[in-house]
Amino acid sequence: MSMKRSFIREILEAIDEETISFAGGLPSEKLFPHEDLKIATLKALENPKVYQYTISNGISELREQIAQRYTNEGFPTTKDNILITTGSQQAMYILAKFFENKDITIEEPSYLGAMNIFRLNYLKMQGVKLENDGVNIEQFENSFKNTKLTYLIPDFQNPSATTYSEEKRDAISEIVKKYNGILIEDSPYSELYFEKKSKYISASLPNNSFHLGSFSKTLVPSLRIGWIRADEEKIKSLMIIKESIDLHSCGVSQYILAEYLKDEAKYEKHLQEIRDDYKAKAIYFSEQLKNILPEFKHQTPKGGMFLYGTFGDNIDTFALVQECLKKKVVYVPGNQFYIDKIPNGEIRFNYTHSSFEQIEKGLKLIKSCL
Amino acid sequence: MSMKRSFIREILEAIDEETISFAGGLPSEKLFPHEDLKIATLKALENPKVYQYTISNGISELREQIAQRYTNEGFPTTKDNILITTGSQQAMYILAKFFENKDITIEEPSYLGAMNIFRLNYLKMQGVKLENDGVNIEQFENSFKNTKLTYLIPDFQNPSATTYSEEKRDAISEIVKKYNGILIEDSPYSELYFEKKSKYISASLPNNSFHLGSFSKTLVPSLRIGWIRADEEKIKSLMIIKESIDLHSCGVSQYILAEYLKDEAKYEKHLQEIRDDYKAKAIYFSEQLKNILPEFKHQTPKGGMFLYGTFGDNIDTFALVQECLKKKVVYVPGNQFYIDKIPNGEIRFNYTHSSFEQIEKGLKLIKSCL
């Protein structure tokens, strides 16, 4: 085993409380529904089964609730299509183990955590250029016809914030069908839209897809509950890996979520609060960038948690971040999101976890390092 | 991936409420400290950090408390020697991934879950005969001098209930040192002694061992919190795998346990209650076996959760369990705990989860299947 730790996890552990962090994908604590989760917790603790071992695929009530949300959106799903996982990080790990040693087509830039998991399980990654409206379709087909397996984040992608156009979603779906391949669609940010929700690509590929979801960005991360949606046959295969990894995900967390989700209207209201808050932050972040760092080219995000852009080729943002750390501000340099990590001028900013004051101060500190 | 599911997990999901189960390693729900855990939960929820992402190795308070317990028992340990895992099942998975493809010496019979994890990560298992006081030392050395890696459960072993003698503990320690190899010591049942606690073998091998613990058997399983104790260097290597698998274990669970463990006397009292209850059950189970199934040779357990024995070679307990299932009683046939799963006359009984009435009734049902 010769693996490097994730740059982001290392940074999260190294920085002190004074450092302004645009690095992690941390949701805003101010939006956590403390009181409602406490009520749900007290109800959950009344369940006589709450502390005992439970089944590997997850408690029935929670799988049912997740399935219902898919069905309501026009993607027919039952609880047997759902596998509860210890965060969507574990969902990814289970799939990487399932597809061990295979070739896989990914976006470049792509999610750092997924890339590390793929390396750990010997998947051979082929990068395809991500454009403003999704991957380059010609490049994608050229790669996918060989790999027959792809990992995509079509909604408010991490790190690029890109959202796929309807046309590109349809094109991806057609290509996956044409080669009878598999799409892994990672959707942790799909509910965090500022304008409208896009249709999942998996909905048109119910038997050729794994769709990944999580409560980490919509409710709270520390319960560590995510899920995989797939056809029943695939779910059964994944369960063997799941139960080898940790028998089952935290039972108490599952019962808490099942209680919380009983009131759908409350959850919807909560989601709308997050969207409103993050939208205001995204617009402010983008405006401050235009004022303070006008040379940083970017688009204002339409959802999710990240803003991505570039200083152009003259600035090495990986070298720059070392300087920024000394001045107590941090972001993730773009090279981290590429297979070959060659330094470039790109940056991923998280805008959800900082206050308006911190955003302005942090960007001015970065400016002072240039 | 062509893996079979665990017999035990499959059984747990297939049986109905009427079936008397001596199969799973389920702790008794009646002993769960519901009220104290509720108090701890309410305190934990007051912590402003309770819902946010946390560090991969586990929250500092809990690692500190676990380390202190080792130190109190004469095994000097700091929080940097501890990695919190999602149950000790995940501890095993992380180690199997760390030692991927290696040869490993194991007891026969051994823990089914560990054997499945080793297979999934391509470890090549070499079985060594388990005797009444631990592995056969000569066989062990012959195997270990080649593998330099071993997985043992020295206290109230699963499935055999065997506890290693002081002499064999010392002999194992000497052999591990002699070949500068590694011991993985799995200790989920060590606190469940009826008479006295044995010294961990790892205590004499602080830099050549991984010691695994869990709250699943001493408190409640559904929080899914276990840990690995090792030297700091090894813990750092394992963290890379840990964070790839699920970023970190359930934060809420960790804060609940840290609150609960603040009152050490309360925890000790709780442990004593479990020991007293399980001891009475073990004695009763053994007596009933002598009355109802006198042909089943076994020793009365001295701790843990299992009673192991044999009908001798004339009975195939794997075939028998299919008949038992029809009559609504179930156990785990001994062949499941061997590398080559060849049917034999052995059985593992769990005695902690059934009432006295169920024990008598269940054994009579088995008798009727013979």
Q: Is A177 on the interface with B (CB under 8 A)?
A: no
Do residues B25 and B305 lie in contact, with contact meaning Cβ atoms separated by under 8 Å? yes
Tokens of A202: 């998996």
pLDDT score of B209: 98
Main-chain dihedrals φ then ψ at residue A299, nearest 5 degrees: -115, 145
Q: Are residues A229 and A181 in the same domain?
A: yes
Q: What CATH number did the domain enclosing B187 receive?
A: 3.40.640.10
Give one DSSP letter per residue of B70-129, joined into a string: HHHTT----GGGEEEESHHHHHHHHHHHHTTT-EEEEEES--HHHHHHHHHTT-EEEEEE
Q: Are residues A201 and A61 in the same domain?
A: yes
Q: Are residues A254 and A286 in the same domain?
A: no
Asked which of B262, B296, B325 is the last residue of a domain, the reply is B262
* Residue B253 within a domain: yes
d(CA A164, CA A341): 24
Residue B199: Cβ within 10 Å count: 14
Q: What CATH number did the domain enclosing B309 receive?
A: 3.90.1150.10
Cis peptide before B159 (omega within 30 of 0): yes
Q: Are residues A351 and A276 in the same domain?
A: yes
pLDDT score of A298: 97
- Residue-number span of the structural domain to which A220 is assigned: 52-262
Q: Are residues B326 and B339 in the same domain?
A: yes
d(CA B35, CA A311): 57
Nearest CA in chain A to B88: A246
Q: Which residues contact A24 (CB under 8 A, 6 or more apart)?
A: A8, A11, A12, A350, A353, B53
Q: Are residues A118 and A166 in the same domain?
A: yes
pLDDT score of B4: 62
Nearest CA in chain A to B224: A250
Q: Are residues A90 and A18 in the same domain?
A: no
What percent of chain B is predicted at pLDDT more than 90? 94
Give one DSSP letter per residue of B17-74, joined into a string: TTSEE--S-PPPGGGS-HHHHHHHHHHHTTSTTTTS---TT--HHHHHHHHHHHHHTT
Cβ separation A41–B45 shorter than 8 A: yes
pLDDT score of A2: 45
pLDDT score of B9: 65
Q: Which of B53, B63, B212 to mutate to test the interface with A (most CBs of A within 10 A)?
A: B53
Q: Are residues A170 and A282 in the same domain?
A: no
Q: Is A78 on the interface with B (CB under 8 A)?
A: no
In sequence order, the β-bridge partners of residue A106 are: A127, A151
Q: Are residues B196 and B304 in the same domain?
A: no
pLDDT score of A1: 42
* Residue A159 within a domain: yes
Cβ separation A29–B9 shorter than 8 A: no
pLDDT score of A13: 67
Q: Contacts of residue B239 in chain A, CB cutoff 8 Å?
A: 5
Burial class (CB in 10 A: 0-12, 13-18, 19+), A228: buried
Cβ separation A250–B13 shorter than 8 A: no
Give Cα separations from A174 to A13, A178, A183, B51 (angstroms): 43, 6, 11, 40
Low-confidence ranges of chain B (pLDDT < 70): 1-6, 8-9, 12-14
Nearest CA in chain A to B100: A1
d(CA A66, CA A69): 5
Asked which of A233, A262, A291 is the last residue of a domain, the reply is A262
Q: Which of B42, B117, B250 to mutate to test the interface with A (most CBs of A within 10 A)?
A: B250
Count of structural domains within chain A: 2
Q: Are residues A139 and A165 in the same domain?
A: yes
* Residue B38 within a domain: no
Strands (E), chain A: 20-21, 82-85, 103-108, 124-131, 134-135, 149-152, 182-186, 209-214, 226-229, 297-298, 306-310, 329-330, 332-333, 346-350
Tokens of B197: 């606690």
* Residue A130 within a domain: yes
Q: In 3-state terms, what secondary structure has residue A278?
A: helix
The per-residue pLDDT of chain B, averaged, comes to 95
Nearest CA in chain A to B121: A97
Tokens of B268: 């000790």
Q: How far is A242 from chain B, CA to nearest CA, in Å?
A: 10
pLDDT score of B15: 77
Q: Contacts of residue B251 in chain A, CB cutoff 8 Å?
A: 221-224
Cβ separation A53–B24 shorter than 8 A: yes
* Residue A240 within a domain: yes
* Residue B34 within a domain: no
* Residue B42 within a domain: no
Low-confidence ranges of chain A (pLDDT < 50): 1-2
Sign (positive or negative) of CA dihedral B121, B126, B127, B133? negative
* Residue B325 within a domain: yes
d(CA B221, CA B27): 8
pLDDT score of A24: 85
Main-chain dihedrals φ then ψ at residue A322, nearest 5 degrees: -65, -40
Asked which of B262, B281, B308 is the last residue of a domain, the reply is B262
Q: Is B288 on the interface with A (CB under 8 A)?
A: no
Q: Are residues A246 and A333 in the same domain?
A: no
Cβ separation A93–B251 shorter than 8 A: no
Q: Are residues A80 and A191 in the same domain?
A: yes
| pLDDT (tens digit per residue) in B223-250 | 999 999 999 999 999 999 999 999 999 9
